[in-house]
Amino acid sequence: MPPLDDDHTGARIKEQRRLARLTQRQLAVRLPYSYSYLNQVECGARPATAAFVAACAKALNVDVTILTGQPYLTDLQRDRLAELVRPIRESLDLYDLGPDADLTVRTPERLVAEADRMCAEVRAARLRNVARELPDLIAELTHTAWSSPSTRLWQALASAYRTAHDITVKLGYYDLSSVALDRMAWAAERASDPCLGAVRQYMRALVYFREGEYRIGRRLVAAGHSAVGQAGESREALAVTGQLHLGASVISARAEDEGAVMLHIAEARRIATLIGDASDVHWLSFGPANVALHEMSAAVEMRQYDDALKQGKEIRLPAHMATSRRAHFLIDRARTEMEVGHTESALKSLTEARRLAPEQTRYHPAARETISGLVHLSRRTPETLHHMAAWIGL
């Protein structure tokens, strides 16, 4: 069995526990997990689930990233991605400076189209291209929206801020992603667009989902429903409402509220049946397929791995499903397959996720934890797994 070094989530949990002057048993008392589970994670015998990491972070009063090690700076620097983050950070700080007389800008029509294209590029998992082009787009949109304010320009700027959130989350810069969401709210208010405001609340809820603050996450989903309720009856409003229910389903799953999970999934399915595929609405991928994916994700979160595996086998993704969403599904499926002992299938799922979305997979903490688990479970590391572990930075 290949040994793990000290740069893994379990080792970081152990370090923070010791800094808090807690024994394993004392920390286990504060967790909805057993002492045995904590012990196995700390020594690297089991991978840490996202829910377990969030519970430890909350009990130890530290950010989740302290335990996951994000952002993975060494790998980001090696991949020349870290150098693309600072320009994004600087562009987010231009929001209240008004027009820039020294800036050469494209036409409003071109900027609006570019904001939409950036959303498509993120969902095609072309993270590097977007990260390189986004700062200029935000700067130009900021200038133009201040110079000639219009609803569509503020909407486009809100969309660009949302893309900044998407990129920084996928690269592990969660502090910066929160700034981007604040800017998104600022622009959405100027656009007087309740649906955009609701999308922002949905994304805020996922921040607290990641941090293990499920009560706050649910309140944010409720705030999103209130916002979208101001938009009236439309396909757009229904799609956003459905996505809010899907967000609430995984938050409820983490909170171990199975009844709420079923209610939210049922309501999302009702809306999806009513409007069909609405992947084009705010790039949320809402529709029947996404409902099925969230139902499986909820089962994974509740550690109902047999049910999740069965659901995963029945899911048929439509051809137009976003590449980033396909990769996320494969990472979820790999985790499920590992948990039920199908290690070869788990490795195949991760290999396919890497093929589809290499940067997204490389920097996804769940992918890293699953590969770590597969390495530990292997009596003799297969060549494919060895290469995968080296590629992901283990």
Select from 129, 182, 104, 192 the least CA-distant residue to 155: 192
Q: Which two tokens stand for residue 78?
A: 């090696």
User: Measured between alpha carbons, how far is 197 from 205 in angstroms, rounded to an integer?
Assistant: 12
pLDDT per position as a tens digit, 196-230: 999 999 999 999 999 989 999 999 999 999 999 99
How does pLDDT run across 125-134, given as a tens digit for each residue? 999 999 999 9
Nearest to 92 by CA among 170, 187, 208: 187
pLDDT of residue 46: 87
What is the arithmetic mean of pLDDT over 73-96?
Answer: 95
Read off the tokens for 376: 């530990």
- Distance between CA atoms of residues 162 and 177, nearest Å: 9
- State the Cα–Cα distance between residues 14 and 261, nearest whole angstrom: 32
Overall average pLDDT of the 94-121 stretch: 96
pLDDT on residue 392 = 83
Quick: pLDDT tens for 18-54.
999 999 999 999 998 999 999 999 988 888 999 999 9
Read off the pLDDT of residues 320-336 as tens digits, 9 standing for 90 and up.
999 999 999 999 999 99
Confidence label for 377 from pLDDT (cuts 50, 70 and 90) = confident
Rounded to whole angstroms, what are the CA distances from 298 to 36, 253, 391?
24, 5, 29
The two three-digit tokens of residue 104, written as one number: 């050469």
Neighbours of 21 (CB within 10 A): 7
Predicted local distance difference test score (pLDDT) of residue 1: 40
Please say if the pLDDT value at position 2 is more than 60.
no
What pLDDT, on the 0 to 100 scale, is given for residue 384? Answer: 84
- For the chain, the average pLDDT equals 93
CATH class of 1-69: mainly alpha
Q: At 174, list the tokens.
A: 């969660």
What is the model's pLDDT at position 3?
46
Residue 278 burial (CB count, 10 A):
22
**pLDDT value at 380 more than 80:** no
Q: Look at residues 88, 69, 77 and name the one whose alpha carbon lies nearest to residue 172.
A: 69
pLDDT higher than threshold 90 for residue 394: no
* 234-278 pLDDT tens trace: 999 999 999 999 999 999 999 999 999 999 999 999 999 999 999
Domain assignments of the chain as residue spans, ordered by start = 1-69, 322-394
Burial of 360 (0-12, 13-18, 19+ CB in 10 A): buried
Among 294, 238, 298, CA closest to 271: 238
Residues 6+ apart with CB under 8 A from 117: none
Out of 62-66, 279-283, 373-377, least confident range: 373-377
The DSSP code sequence of 104-136 is ----HHHHHHHHHHHHHHHHTT-HHHHHHHHHH
